[in-house]
Structure 1
């Protein structure tokens, strides 16, 4: 059974955007970052990200929980990513997302 880490990022608009600009450019930035990691890495995108309430959730999977949390920490510290991101450590058996052990990001 594969580990899954959900990266929950507050849906906070990026500051100082020009009028009419996309409010959450950091979503694309995170998706690009995660896609770039997939090439030869022990971490993969598990599923497409999605908005859920007041957060946007990214899903990654891999064998090592430590590697997954390291990637989640890197996501949380990317320029422009809103403060307050956290991870949920879970697996494929979880009945829905948001179930599991919460880990504040970045991890030390």
Structure 2
């Protein structure tokens, strides 16, 4: 019987890496500011790790004790002003060996 630690819930938010007309990505700062303000105690979700570019998407990482509030935060992130359309979430955990593994959820969740 394995008495190890349970994996940590991770929701990867995949946002198409689309630049503003001036070639910058101001929406990344908008999303990071939103994530920095989350607190698991009050929001049910929190920022898990720094975002990063992965191919043609930018990834943001959220965690929490329960899936519903984490998906709600992911949906909120996907609908912030300036966030490119087409974001989706991947439900995974910290044992995943690479990005993009798990169950795909279209954002925003309705």
The match for 1:98 among 83, 97, 100 is 100
User: 1:39 offset after TM fit, Å?
Assistant: 7.1
Distance of 2:71 and 2:38 partners within structure 1 = 14
Q: What does 1:72-83 correspond to in 2, within 5 Å? A: 72-83=74-85
**Structure 2 spans left out of the alignment, 5+ residues:** 1-6
**Which TM-score applies when normalising by structure 2?**
0.87
2:44 is aligned with 1:38: no
> Residue 82 of structure 2 aligns to a residue in which SS?
coil
The match for 1:84 among 83, 86, 93 is 86
2:51 aligns to what? Answer: 49
1:23 aligns to what? Answer: 24
User: 1:2 offset after TM fit, Å?
Assistant: 2.1
> Residue 37 of structure 2 aligns to a residue in which SS?
helix
The match for 2:63 among 27, 46, 61 is 61
More displaced stretch, 39-48 vs 94-103:
39-48
1:5 aligns to what? Answer: 11
**Mapped contact 2:46–2:63 kept (Cα < 8 A):** yes
**Structure 1 spans left out of the alignment, 5+ residues:** none
> Residue 67 of structure 1 aligns to a residue in which SS?
helix
**For 1:49-83, what per-residue CA distance to the aligned partner results, in whole angstroms no more than 9, with x for missing partners?**
10000000001111111111100100110010000
> Residue 37 of structure 1 aligns to a residue in which SS?
coil
* Pair 1:39–1:101, CA change in 2 (3 A): closer
